[in-house]
């Protein structure tokens, strides 16, 4: 037998048994953003490598070691997008969507990062994100957090996620703080791990985010960014907290929360769960007022977040919140004998025409009663319709209940639509 080809490590198929859960999550996401009046944007999956280098930052995990970068046939350096924000800004600038305008956008799609695959961490994964342009005030920061809280509610996971919040101030404030932090870290240089030593001068704030408990212990007396913030930054943050308090969204202020991408300023946040082990961040984002200008547009305030869909799906599975996912088929139509096939097809088509919400599968390929009923059961349908010669002669259809003990009914063809409409909502 020929050798089978396997999928690329860390890149998953979403199988037919899994896709109903994905579709449910996606439908809730679409409904939520639409309730806030946001518009969808779809960007290419491949961009110029420079776009990500200039936005995410040269000294970040993503750009240093996670990008899928390749040369195309023209010798241009291209990269499979590792995230959606940079592409959204690129598209916004390119099409004049950001210039003196407000935009509330959302996107959903695959992202690519060459990371070590493990539970909740893959090389192709999917993000759902929102990006808002042209609004500097904290009410929009609050809105995206309200939107995310509403999502958790709709998905039934509000009890399992918590919000961590921080402010990074403006770039000048961060620059002053950066110097103070470097001076502090220099005292402990020999005790820092390799990663932190490397980051110390290039991206010292990332040291705060270290997962190494020994590094974390050294940081106890490190200078705090909050002590370096000016009145404007402080006011922005306290206004955000006030709004969240007013709408009843709980949060923890985490002064070490810095995020791994360079473009953030002021507000940063993460929604985390303790139910997924190490990969506990399900949604992350913040404000990035400098990025539009940095990528060649006119300075435009911006805020957004990205959510990892695999982690949400995993969370729903872990919490066993997948029970109300509808089966792909409601009604399975069988035909007992070759003479009944045409009538069975007509019945199925009539149902699809008159009950467009109903999911109707026709048995194909013949076979005896037992075989057809087995298929009906396997399809997940709650009802099988049986068309045999007797039923057809009498202008009737037998309605067999597959998921409860109700008696089989004989229904006149003319009444079938009404009967089924009542049985399957
Ligand atoms: P992490 O700290 O888990 O590496 P990150 O800071 O790299 O996350 P972001 O770039 O902010 O993550 O992406 C936002 C969200 O996308 C994450 O919170 C997570 O839910 C999801 N995500 C990021 N990388 C992956 C991945 N490799 N596989 C699956 N989901 C991911
Ligand atoms: Mg990462």
Distance 206 CA to ligand 2 centre (A): 12
Domain limit, last residue, from 318, 348, 377: 318
The CATH number of whichever domain residue 61 belongs to comes to 3.30.930.10
Residue 399 sits in which domain range?
A: 331-423
160 within domain boundaries: yes
Instruction: Tell whether 129 is in a known binding site.
Output: no
CA distance 34 to 213: 42
Nearest CA to ligand 1 atom 28: 121
Instruction: Tell whether 131 is in a known binding site.
Output: yes
Ordered alpha helix ranges (H), 189-275? 194-202, 205-208, 213-218, 231-247
- Residues 156, 243, single domain; the answer is yes
Instruction: Tell whether 83 is in a known binding site.
Output: yes
CA nearest neighbour of 343 among 412, 392, 385: 392
Structure tokens at 393: 């002669």
What's the confidence (pLDDT) of residue 20?
93
CA dihedral 188, 191, 197, 203 (to 10 degrees): -50
- Residues 251, 394, single domain; the answer is no
User: Ligand 1 pocket by C-beta < 6 Å: which residues?
Assistant: 83, 113, 115, 120-122, 125, 127, 260, 279, 281-284, 306, 308, 310-311
Per-residue pLDDT of the chain (425 residues; tens, 9 = 90+): 899 999 999 999 999 999 999 999 999 999 999 999 999 999 999 999 999 999 988 878 889 899 999 999 999 999 999 999 999 999 999 999 999 999 999 999 999 999 999 999 999 999 999 999 999 999 999 999 999 999 999 999 999 999 999 999 998 998 899 999 999 999 998 998 988 998 888 888 889 888 888 988 988 889 999 999 999 999 999 999 999 999 999 999 998 898 867 788 999 999 999 999 888 999 999 999 999 999 999 999 999 999 999 999 999 999 999 888 888 999 999 999 888 999 999 999 999 999 999 999 999 998 999 999 999 999 999 999 999 999 999 999 999 999 999 999 999 999 999 999 887 66
- Residues 372, 348, single domain; the answer is yes
Domain tally for the chain? 2
């Amino acid at each position: 037998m020929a050798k089978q080809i396997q999928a690329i490590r860390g890149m998953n198929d979403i199988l037919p048994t899994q896709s109903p859960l994905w579709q449910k999550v996606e439908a809730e996401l679409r409904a939520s953003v639409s309730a806030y009046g946001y518009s969808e944007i779809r960007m290419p999956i491949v961009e110029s490598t420079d776009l990500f280098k200039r936005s995410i930052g040269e000294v970040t995990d993503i750009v240093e070691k996670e990008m899928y970068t390749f040369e195309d046939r023209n010798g241009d350096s291209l990269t499979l997008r590792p995230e959606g924000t940079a592409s959204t800004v690129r598209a916004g600038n390119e099409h004049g969507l950001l210039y003196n305008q407000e935009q509330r956008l959302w996107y959903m799609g695959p992202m690519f990062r060459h990371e070590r695959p493990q539970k909740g961490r893959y090389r192709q994964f999917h993000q759902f994100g929102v990006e808002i342009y042209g609004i500097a005030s904290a009410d929009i920061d609050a809105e995206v957090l309200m939107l995310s809280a509403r999502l958790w509610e709709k998905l039934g996971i509000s009890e399992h996620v918590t919000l961590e919040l921080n402010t990074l101030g403006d770039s000048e404030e961060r620059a002053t703080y950066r110097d103070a932090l470097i001076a502090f870290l220099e005292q402990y240089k020999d005790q820092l791990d390799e990663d932190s030593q490397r980051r110390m001068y290039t991206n010292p704030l990332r040291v705060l985010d270290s997962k190494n408990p020994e590094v974390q212990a050294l940081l106890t007396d490190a200078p705090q960014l909050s002590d370096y913030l000016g009145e404007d930054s402080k006011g922005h943050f306290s206004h955000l907290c006030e709004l969240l308090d007013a709408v009843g969204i709980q949060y923890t202020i985490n002064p070490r929360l810095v995020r791994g991408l360079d473009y953030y300023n002021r507000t940063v946040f993460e929604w985390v769960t303790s139910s997924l082990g190490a990969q506990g961040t399900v949604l992350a984002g913040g404000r990035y007022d400098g990025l539009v200008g940095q990528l060649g547009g006119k300075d435009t305030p911006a805020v957004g977040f990205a959510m990892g869909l695999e982690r949400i799906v995993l969370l729903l599975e872990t919490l066993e919140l997948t029970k109300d996912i509808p089966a792909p088929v409601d009604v399975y139509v069988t035909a007992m004998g070759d003479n009944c096939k045409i009538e069975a097809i007509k019945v199925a088509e009539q149902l699809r025409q008159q009950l467009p919400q109903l999911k109707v599968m026709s048995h194909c390929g013949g076979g005896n009663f037992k075989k057809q009923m087995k298929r009906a059961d396997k399809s997940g349908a709650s009802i099988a319709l049986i068309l045999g010669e007797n039923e057809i002669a009498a202008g009737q259809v037998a309605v067999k209940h597959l998921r409860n003990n109700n008696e089989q009914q004989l229904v006149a063809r003319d009444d079938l639509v009404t009967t089924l409409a009542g049985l399957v909502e």
